[in-house]
């Protein structure tokens, strides 16, 4: 389905700006000595509803629209934006962005051609898919389902959010791109109490989908039950043993560790500047031969998926590490030009008020051949980490610290007691080289990933099969 015409019309028709105005703005930039010029236009509508203990406690709705203008000269960037879509603001932003340009004759403008990229998503607005009454009923359904699971459930919080983004980009390399980007998310948090002990459980999911879907009710029910399951497991958790030991990482969301510990180090800007542990290592073995890691922004419906990136480059499947060998990096147009390679469709920005940079979309490890049960049976004593919360990584060294929100002790090849307070401490390249078994059960996360970089946040996806790492330092509560 090609709805790019819809995106352009919905963005520009209510304004005094035309596509010809955007193209003339690029020509104006090119009248000075710049290497690359770009105009990015965005309109995004967002809505959120929150329910606490059966009562809708808050709600919000916002519309944000504006234009960002960028001019590049070598490694220097001139950037300006206006917080609405109007001809006067466009002109002011162009004048500000081109202030970095060298004085000179400039060059002729290029011919502009609409990118031949079909939109993954139709024009339907997920915010309008359900009326207010049905949205409240969905929140209440999740609340009621959670309370019906177990009498120990004392508190339930539910939040539903949706956004509908329209974007358009025109650039001096001839790019004219438009895209439609729906996004929805549902989160459930519960508190259970037993014997004076209170524990929390959380579950969430989402993606680029509409809420008016026959499976939406089942989605709410499943998340509610999962949140209760997590809370009840935490009630039974025991102290975590500390020290180096084998760790089995579960499929799906544990790929967030891969995202942080490896993915960021494979973004083009860090490698161009030499600050990544993976810099200048293309062609070298950087992981176990069992590991193939890709970034793929073209999987329909996934949270990190886009028809094109924020520079108008089509998203695609990019192999980063193949059978343990580093094949390349994720690139935007700036870093690709400076590194003499092509963009991989990974130029992303939080909004029109931000410059694009190399960012992940959906990053995952491809499946191997081992049965997940076989992987667990191979561990005499270790930790099985199924879900993760927060974490941090140092790009230069690759060192990371991650907190597990759901983990279990492995004893004699069997999963036994749930653990409290488990953290994983290690180095990304070292951990990737210590992978000794890769499962055949690849799974992608449920659709809750948010990636932060240089003050910008964008939605992403992660995934992996079950993995065995021969040794990671486990930080716990039991010496």
- How many helices and strands in the chain, by DSSP H and E? 10, 24
Q: Encode pLDDT of 187-224 as tens digits.
A: 999 999 999 999 999 999 999 988 877 778 999 999 99
Residue 240: predicted pLDDT: 94
Q: C-alpha angle 43/207/401, rounded to 5°?
A: 105
Task: Encode pLDDT of 90-146 as tens digits.
Answer: 999 999 998 877 654 555 555 666 666 778 888 889 998 889 999 999 999 999 999
Q: Up-side HSE of residue 16: CA atoms within 13 Å toward CB?
A: 7
Give phi and psi for 140, each to the nearest 5. -65, -35
Low-confidence spans in the chain with pLDDT less than 50? 1, 104
Residue 55 backbone phi and psi in degrees, to 5: -120, 135
Task: Give the pLDDT of residue 1.
Answer: 43
Instruction: Compute the distance between CA of residue 60 and CA of residue 393 in angstroms, rounded to an integer.
Output: 33
CA 3 – CA 117 distance, rounded (Å): 10
What does the DSSP assignment read for 294-347? EEES-STT-TT--SB-TTSPBP-EEEEEETTEE---B--HHHHHHHTS---S-E
Q: Which CATH architecture has domain 4-236?
A: 2-Layer Sandwich (3.30)
Position 477 scores a pLDDT of: 66
Return residue ranges of the chain for CATH 3.30.2290.10. Answer: 4-236
Report the SS3 class of residue 228.
helix
Predicted confidence at residue 163, as pLDDT, reads 96
Q: What is the pLDDT of residues 220-259, one digit of tens each?
A: 999 999 999 999 999 999 999 999 999 999 999 999 989 9
């Amino acid at each position: 389905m090609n709805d790019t015409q819809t995106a352009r019309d919905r963005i520009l028709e209510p304004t005094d700006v035309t596509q010809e105005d955007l193209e003339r703005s690029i020509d104006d930039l090119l009248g000075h000595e710049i290497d690359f010029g770009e105009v990015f236009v965005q309109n995004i509508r967002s809505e959120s509803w929150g329910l606490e203990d059966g009562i809708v406690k808050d709600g919000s709705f916002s519309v944000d629209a504006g234009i960002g203008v960028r001019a590049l000269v070598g490694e220097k960037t001139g950037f300006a934006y206006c917080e609405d879509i109007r001809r006067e603001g466009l002109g002011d932003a162009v004048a500000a962005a081109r202030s970095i340009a060298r004085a000179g004759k400039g060059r002729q403008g290029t011919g502009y051609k609409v990118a031949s990229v079909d939109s993954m998503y139709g024009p339907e607005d997920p915010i309008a898919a359900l009326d207010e009454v049905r949205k409240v009923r969905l929140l209440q359904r999740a609340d009621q389902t959670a309370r019906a699971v177990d009498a120990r459930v004392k508190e339930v919080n539910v939040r539903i959010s949706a956004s509908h983004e329209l974007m358009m980009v025109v650039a001096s390399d001839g790019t004219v791109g438009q895209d439609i980007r729906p996004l929805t998310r549902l989160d459930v948090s519960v508190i259970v109490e037993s014997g004076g002990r209170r524990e929390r459980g959380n579950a969430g999911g989402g993606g680029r989908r509409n809420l008016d879907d026959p499976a939406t009710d089942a989605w709410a029910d499943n998340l509610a039950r999962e949140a209760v399951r997590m809370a009840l497991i935490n009630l039974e958790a025991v102290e975590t043993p500390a020290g180096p030991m084998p760790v089995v990482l579960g499929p799906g969301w544990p790929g967030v560790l891969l995202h942080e510990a490896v993915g960021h180090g494979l973004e083009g800007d860090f490698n161009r500047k030499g600050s990544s542990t993976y810099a200048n290592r293309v062609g070298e073995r950087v992981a176990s031969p069992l590991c193939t890691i890709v970034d793929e922004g073209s999987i329909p419906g996934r949270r990190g998926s886009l028809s094109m990136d924020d520079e108008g480059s089509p998203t695609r499947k990019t192999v980063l590490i193949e059978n343990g060998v580093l094949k390349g990096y994720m690139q935007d147009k700036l870093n690709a030009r400076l590194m003499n390679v092509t963009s991989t469709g990974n130029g992303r920005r939080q909004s029109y008020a931000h410059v694009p940079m190399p960012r992940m979309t959906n990053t995952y490890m491809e499946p191997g051949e081992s049965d997940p049960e076989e992987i667990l049976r191979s561990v005499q004593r270790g930790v099985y980490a199924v879900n993760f919360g927060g974490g941090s990584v140092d790009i230069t060294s690759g060192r990371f610290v991650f907190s597990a929100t759901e983990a279990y002790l492995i004893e004699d090849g069997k999963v036994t007691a749930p653990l409290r307070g488990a953290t994983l401490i290690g180095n990304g390249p070292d951990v990737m080289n210590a992978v000794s078994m890769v499962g055949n059960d690849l799974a992608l996360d449920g659709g809750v990933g948010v990636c932060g970089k240089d003050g910008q946040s964008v939605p992403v996806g992660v995934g992996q099969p079950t993995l065995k790492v021969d040794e990671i330092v486990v930080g716990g509560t039991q010496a």
